[in-house]
Chain A
């Protein structure tokens, strides 16, 4: 009874935040609602028993995406010289959008209602967990049973970064990513940036370590590490790397490259992306480690944005 009341309240608050984020006229307000939405969705995942997803949502949705959107908003305002005007609503566009949304909703509803009762894969995963090299079923699925998804996801992140880098002006190419942050050395911001990152680093490594037997993993840990790096740069204590920096580029690609190499090596053991069960344990750990590095670097670079021309810094 009380559980239903809680779930119902949570759903209503989520709907309110989502509605406000999409209907609000003010772009800043929409971003704030989106951050709030991420926090609420993390609670919803917990209610569904998906702690791994809740961790990812708390780190990415409530933490990193907010920074990304606020930075994007400031960038748009800087380029346009003012708060971005909300697009003038043309009746035809509005009607077309609404119609398209309606069609998609009906399609999803139809698909949902006509689906056969799902059997679920938990049984299969549990049966084969011993052979996967991981104790956390989610990690087993992500890095062994469905390694494809994870491999492609890490490549998608890289592709997104390349997309952002193409926005750089020619004369800025190769320079430091994003704006140069400065702070007064003794300010609250600088002090905060000195104290939090060491603790955040430990939490990030802990989440990766925990991923092999309990909720956690490369994505969650990598996101926390990215956030730590972003804090030190926003606090003016470090500079963002140059996009032409070799060490940076190595960090960006090492995860996908090692993962791919392992997948190809699997051909000799049987098939593409098949981990030999005898070595799956430490191989997964190694892939997790390099993936964490690449994910952290890529996410942080996504937030910093394309390199800016010198005179702007």
Chain B
């Protein structure tokens, strides 16, 4: 039963990794590819870690698995933004008006 859970989760993780790679190959532009990579791969890693979490011998290794995934998420959240930024067109967002933003479109003050 436990093994079945592991098999299902790791298989699902592999599918998302495959989706990430396929997106990296198929998507037409740099930013779309970055979408595929960031979301699919970290989900894939999370599912693999979840699948293995029921196999570890003790709670210490379970928490270590969580820590590994949390670090991967932190790194992904930061690098995705940084790489997306250097690949972004220059001058994007330079005009003061927000295009779609704000529920009311009004200037918001920082608290």
A–B in direct contact per CB < 8 Å: yes
Interfacial residues, chain A to chain B (CB-CB below 8 A): 188-189, 191-192, 195-196, 199
In the bound complex, CA of A196 to CA of B71 (Å): 9
User: In the complex, are the beta carbons of A199 and B71 less than 8 A apart?
Assistant: yes
User: In the complex, are the beta carbons of B78 and A188 less than 8 A apart?
Assistant: yes
Between-chain CB contacts (< 8 Å), 12 pairs: A188-B78, A188-B81, A188-B82, A188-B85, A189-B78, A189-B82, A191-B78, A192-B74, A192-B78, A195-B74, A196-B74, A199-B71
In the bound complex, CA of A192 to CA of B71 (Å): 11
In the bound complex, CA of A188 to CA of B85 (Å): 10
In the bound complex, CA of A189 to CA of B77 (Å): 11
B85 contacts across to A, CB distance below 8 A: 188
Nearest A residue to B81 via CB reads A188
Per-position 1/0 for B71-109, Cβ under 8 A of A: 100100010011001000000000000000000000000
In the bound complex, CA of A73 to CA of B8 (Å): 44
B78 CB to nearest A CB, Å: 4
In the bound complex, CA of A189 to CA of B74 (Å): 12
Q: Apart from A188-B82, A189-B78, A189-B82, what are 5 other A-B pairs with CB-CB below 8 Å?
A: A188-B81, A192-B74, A195-B74, A196-B74, A199-B71
A189 contacts across to B, CB distance below 8 A: 78, 82
In the bound complex, CA of A199 to CA of B74 (Å): 12
Interface size class of B (residues with CB under 8 A): under 10
Interfacial residues, chain B to chain A (CB-CB below 8 A): 71, 74, 78, 81-82, 85
In the bound complex, CA of A191 to CA of B74 (Å): 11
A206 CB to nearest B CB, Å: 11
B74 contacts across to A, CB distance below 8 A: 192, 195-196
B96 CB to nearest A CB, Å: 18
Nearest A residue to B79 via CB reads A192
Please give me the 4 A-B residue pairs with the lowest Cβ-Cβ distance, nearest first.
A192-B78, A188-B81, A188-B78, A188-B82
B78 contacts across to A, CB distance below 8 A: 188-189, 191-192
Interface centre among A188, A195, A199 (most CB of B within 10 A): A188
B71 contacts across to A, CB distance below 8 A: 199
In the bound complex, CA of A192 to CA of B78 (Å): 7
In the bound complex, CA of A103 to CA of B78 (Å): 47
Nearest A residue to B78 via CB reads A192
A188 contacts across to B, CB distance below 8 A: 78, 81-82, 85
In the bound complex, CA of A234 to CA of B81 (Å): 16
Nearest B residue to A191 via CB reads B78
In the bound complex, CA of A43 to CA of B85 (Å): 31
A17 CB to nearest B CB, Å: 15
In the bound complex, CA of A199 to CA of B81 (Å): 21
Nearest B residue to A188 via CB reads B81
In the bound complex, CA of A286 to CA of B78 (Å): 37
A191 contacts across to B, CB distance below 8 A: 78
In the bound complex, CA of A125 to CA of B103 (Å): 69
B26 CB to nearest A CB, Å: 20
A195 contacts across to B, CB distance below 8 A: 74
B52 CB to nearest A CB, Å: 15
In the bound complex, CA of A195 to CA of B82 (Å): 16
